[in-house]
Structure 1
């Protein structure tokens, strides 16, 4: 436990800690590492020339590919996948996608998307979601272990976001419905939910087992887990993420 809280497991990976308190380790590591360098990283990526950015990306992809090929499948998750420097790649990809959306090419693609009929936009979003679900099953059942699941997200993300932006422009009232606002609020907490859900589930399981309700009241256990996950994510946002964001803004 101490090794995880001190981030030893995330920096010097050990198979012994592979399944223990991952949520705690990832939460602390992401906040202390990513938030400290996000501002400078964002400025750097947004200002560097595109040709140089593509060159750096090509080098990183080549190095990453060599690591993926070298590391055995059974050791992949507790080495490469959990190492903060490699997970930083995901953060960089997100910044680069934002840069594309804000660029002239991104604006041109958005303009073309807006000109499509609304029914075609809805069909496009539905097909993207279906294709994403199919690729998930392919990742789970067909692709090798060291093919990272997050690699399936990025090809769909940019097109999906552009389609939703175009749909909002056509029908802004639809996106102001209360149910949409609820999903928007959950989306704003998505990072905190991801980083803390393991901790919440672990604590609820222990408490429910102690009270003898884990097997006798499964529906109650699920409901309590959902409430605790949202509560813990909200506390993480208010007590940790927001103060750090304001501190390093």
Structure 2
């Protein structure tokens, strides 16, 4: 768990989520997050906060041993299912180096497809594992690294052309080039906690873009809280104030609903 020295409340929150969900045999280990003001040789085009994020995740990879390790930031909420399902998926895919337990795809068609599949998958207790070789995404707040693959991933990230690339985008480039094998689990097995709405990278106030990305990931979480999401949607609607977009949202809702016919 990556956590800044001064973020005691965030640490307590993620520790409480872990304690409430983790089975025996799992241990939550804290990795001290780098600070945004900390200098770094590979400054490049990264902001101080992006550079701190990259270095923090590299520190976490360096601490990984021969066992599978789930690397999370301190604004993560766990599902009890993540520990068995994610490790089972990794065991079933011996070529996979890294399995995201949540992320934000950048393809709108994929977003709609995932949203439409969520109800049936959760009703059956099924999960998908999808390759990221041809899927763009942002976010690297929670992912399972295969035992022994951490050094491979870290070495790949050391490529000069990735020195000025944000950490999540760098992982995406490595996946798309085939340098590493990365996939994601769906429905998501972790989700952003309320602490995610404020981060070292985004600043004290999350903007509409970030709030929307968090809202999607929380809705696609296997243990989603619909009451909480309703309140979140109300805040998003009030934030953009676009009546036409609100109405169009109802059209998209119908398109992804289980009631919408599969053929015309």
The TM-score range, normalised by the shorter chain, is under 0.3
Which has a greater percent of helix?
1
Which has a greater percent of strand?
2
Query: Which of 1 and 2 has greater Rg?
Result: 1
Q: TM-score, normalised by structure 1?
A: 0.25
